[in-house]
Amino acid sequence: MELPLKFESIQHYRLLYDHTISREELSESVVPDAMPDVARIMEAESHAFLETQACAMGRVDFSGRISTDILYYPEEEEGVRGLSLNTTFQFMEDVTGAEESSVAQAGVRVLSCDVRVLNPRKLLLRIGLLVSLQVYQPEELSHNPQPEQDEGWGVERRTVEQTMNLVLGVSQKPFAFEDQLNLSGARAADRILKCREQCTVQEARIAGSRLVVKGSVRLHFLLWSQEDGMFQETFDLPFSQIMEGGRASEDSMARARVQLTGWSYTLSAGGSAISVSLDLLAQAVLRENRQVCLLTDAYSTRYPMELSVAPLHCIQLLDSGQRRQSLREVLECGTEPQTVQDAWASVGLVSQSAQDMTRTLTADVTVHVVIGEEGGHLSAVSRTWPVSVQIEAPEQSLLEFQCTLADVQADRISGGVEVRLDAQFAYVLRQEEQVDTVTGLTLHEEQPRDCSGQPSIVLRRVQAGEQLWELAKSCCTCCQAIREANGLEGDSLPTGGFLLIPRGR
């Protein structure tokens, strides 16, 4: 006979898939008719925009667009030109267990950008992409089991209290805004050479049943005018979004990010303002510690009983925080720089290595600088340095981290440019433990235990390492009966001592 159990349930999300995918996109692009012929590429920078993502049976599909800004010297013309080219990308990733009800969160960034001139009207683009993909599956966690009825079956249960770090909400929200940005002072530009964006989340918290996400989008424009030559303008555009908070409480830990899914910008007729339109996607994962009661063993003092057991992966939060590391290096230019026209940095591959109880987190940081040389000639130089921090972490623990960069400070020195920036490593450290839990009980009521020939109480010596639960189970009695017969208050047993073991009832 199967004994029905009544469980309490918690609706949560299980992390089904967490992987990083790298791929190189290769394409040929024709220079638009309105643009002059390309003589030489000075610099190129790509931006990846995630446009669609969807879960299907056993896979996740996502696609987007790559916008590549190219600074080049045209043939038979003075000055620098800016050219923007668009290409598309598509990914289909096999994810075992994915369903239409699964929730995918993908983040796309550019690892590398290389543009070559095939001829004055055709360019070869080689773009390296890195996609971080997490897939969550909604599930129900059953805990705190209780028999729906107790008709004298003599069932004893062993339970453990466990703190689990559960994902209680996975939320996404697209949003957009438009603005007109006025150039500083009395400046006016003849054309926009390129634009760079940086999305930053400054706050993510639960208020009531909603998630509030606040931050800003920094837009950095490189412009050109006949009067001033190349110059920069930077704008910070704040945002505040209210998202679904799932089942998380105000004690939950929210991890949020915002990424661009599209943009457009145009220079006003007089060149003194820029009209921008931004499409963005806010993504959030809400985790919270919950106390659960798990049934790990059971037996009957009256009947033989079989257990149905299933493993449960319990994740515990060990630590979370941030580490900051400064980078200060000299970027050799091979010539004497007269001015620094532009400087920016990007995060490439990230990795972690473990030694004993220390985890080293490393990010490859590439710094790009556009310098003005003698005679007004412009050139671009770049170099990559590894930046590392160390975190204390137990062996076999799970450590997630991401690295973001502050603005680059660049000053010309003899023979090169001194660059300074801060790299911020945000990390979350968790421990996973597998607990075998009882999911079902089957009693063989047709085979009751025959205790008629057994004494009502026996004297037994406690063996080394013997536990109260195992002793009671082997003797078909209950833990409380042994405690009462021997005046015990807890579960510890006197090794080598003698205990009175009452017969089970």
Q: Which of 479, 46, 38, 133 lies closest to 299 in space, CA to CA?
A: 479
Q: Which residues contact 474 (CB under 8 A, 6 or more apart)?
A: none
Q: Which pLDDT does position 149 carry in this prediction? A: 66
Q: Which pLDDT does position 453 carry in this prediction? A: 64
Task: Give the DSSP letter of residue 4.
Answer: P
pTM: 0.87
Q: Which pLDDT does position 452 carry in this prediction? A: 64
Q: Which residues contact 386 (CB under 8 A, 6 or more apart)?
A: 362, 363, 364, 365
Q: Which pLDDT does position 150 carry in this prediction? A: 63
Q: Which pLDDT does position 7 carry in this prediction? A: 85
Two structure tokens written together for 454: 């057994």
Element (H, E) at 472: helix 468-474
Q: How far apart are CA 498 and CA 11, in angstroms?
A: 47
Element (H, E) at 449: none
Q: pLDDT tens per residue, the chain (505 residues)?
A: 888 888 889 999 999 999 999 999 999 999 999 999 999 999 999 999 999 999 999 999 999 999 999 999 999 887 889 999 999 999 999 999 999 999 999 999 999 999 999 999 999 999 999 999 999 999 999 888 877 666 678 888 999 999 999 999 999 999 999 999 999 988 899 999 999 999 999 999 999 889 999 999 999 999 999 888 889 999 999 999 999 888 888 889 999 999 999 999 999 999 999 999 999 999 999 999 999 999 999 998 888 889 999 999 899 999 999 999 999 999 998 888 999 999 999 999 999 999 989 999 999 999 999 998 887 788 899 999 999 999 999 988 999 999 999 989 999 998 899 999 999 999 999 999 999 999 889 988 888 877 666 777 888 898 888 899 999 998 889 999 999 999 998 888 888 888 998 977 6
Token pair 């897939």 is found at 135
